[in-house]
Amino acid sequence: MPEPWPEKEDRELLALVQEGSHPAFAELVQRHTGRYYRLAFRYLQNREAAEDVVQDAFLKLWEDPQKWQAEKNTKFTTWFYRVVVNLCLDWRKRKRPVELNEDMPLIDERETADQAMLRWEEQKVLEQEIAALPERQRTALNLCFDEGVSNQEAADIMGVNLKALQSLLMRAKTTLKERMKSYL
Amino acid sequence: MSQNEDEKLEAILRQRRVEPASQDLATRIILKAQGLPQIRNISLWQSVRQLFAEFHLPAPGYVLASALILGMIVGFTATPENTNETNAQIAAQSFLSADEGPL
């Protein structure tokens, strides 16, 4: 009888991965690839780069699963966010910032060409401004506007307290508001 | 006005576009991991057990305990002659090396 992998918690799957279980690893990958890809994409603004980072993160986990220590009481997702964020920062240090993709698809087909163009430009400027933010402000913003990450979890991922995270967020938003005045 | 700007900025931030990942990203990762060995951090005790298993020896605990008991028995049953013999060997060694001093 096959193991009911979807019913297992991340913690249980990790314990199996530490024993060398490929099916448990596969379940973890299927379960979490999407969310970590989205985060990596927000950092890097490039599909190939984001995919490479996520692949790298999961392969590192497979090669040395003992790095995640259950007894430290950290949720796997929180710990792995940290891994992915660090890999994204490393990637950005090693490589030059990537240019934004010019052929962005239209977000809503009901929009007129002018509206779509304006929206595209707005997004492009926003991404450039976010990329220009200090590293910690950018990380706070990327984590908090990513689905499912609460402010407390984002603070845990960044290793700061909730107040510090809120302050980083506020500074980031103030800067963005200033720089994007013409779009608001 | 400022609140309106805040709301607009939040709305734009929430609408940030994410290009979808390749359909086979997860599969690619899983397949790649199948060809990679895991790093195993094993303790000293685990490596001793593996060594015993490799050579088909009895459980290491029993062997180590038996060796300890055997050692104690041999130690307690050592006769005085054996000890004297050792002392004689030491005396001979010191006699031989005493000549080497002045050289």
8 A C-beta contact, residue A127 and residue A121? no
Residue partners of A138: CB distance under 8 A and separation at least 6? A43, A130, A131, A172
Position A28 in a domain: yes
Residue A79: give the domain boundaries.
1-99
Residue partners of A168: CB distance under 8 A and separation at least 6? A136, A137, A140, A160
Pair A12, A76 in one domain: yes
CB count, 10 Å around CB of A108? 8
d(CA B16, CA A177): 15
**How many independent structural domains does chain A possess?**
2
The residue-averaged pLDDT of B73-78 equals 86
Show the tokens assigned to A54.
């996520």
| Chain B residues with beta carbon closer than 8 angstroms to that of A50 | 21
Of A33, A34, A31, whose CA–CA distance to A9 is shortest? A31
Which of A58, A87, A107 should we substitute to test contact with B (largest number of B Cβ atoms within 10 Å)?
A58
Q: What's A42's domain CATH number?
A: 1.10.1740.10
Amino acid at B64: L
8 A C-beta contact, residue A43 and residue A83? no
Pair A182, A132 in one domain: yes
Q: What's A160's domain CATH number?
A: 1.10.10.10
DSSP B51-89: HHHHTTPSPHHHHHHHHHHHHHHHHHT--HHHHHHHHHH
The number of residues making up chain B comes to 103
| Chain B residues with beta carbon closer than 8 angstroms to that of A127 | 16
Minimal C-alpha gap between B25 and chain A (Å): 7
Position A169 in a domain: yes
Q: Domain extents for chain B?
A: 44-98
Q: What is the pLDDT along chain A (184 residues), one digit of tens a residue?
A: 456 677 889 999 999 999 899 999 999 999 999 999 999 998 898 999 999 999 999 999 999 998 887 667 788 998 999 999 999 989 988 875 555 555 555 455 556 777 777 778 888 888 889 989 999 999 999 898 876 688 999 999 999 999 999 999 999 999 999 988 887 7
d(CA A145, CA A84): 16
pTM value surpassing 0.90 = no
Pair A2, A91 in one domain: yes
Pair A87, A149 in one domain: no
Pair A85, A154 in one domain: no
Burial class (CB in 10 A: 0-12, 13-18, 19+), A150: exposed
Give, in order, the Cα–Cα distances in Å from A135 to each of A147, B1, B16.
20, 29, 18
Whether this model's ipTM surpasses 0.85 comes out as: no
Which of A35, A55, A130 should we substitute to test contact with B (largest number of B Cβ atoms within 10 Å)?
A55
Pair A45, A135 in one domain: no
Pair A65, A25 in one domain: yes
Angle between helices A22-44 and A135-144 (to 10 degrees): 120
Phi, psi dihedral angles at A9 (to 5 degrees) = -80, 160
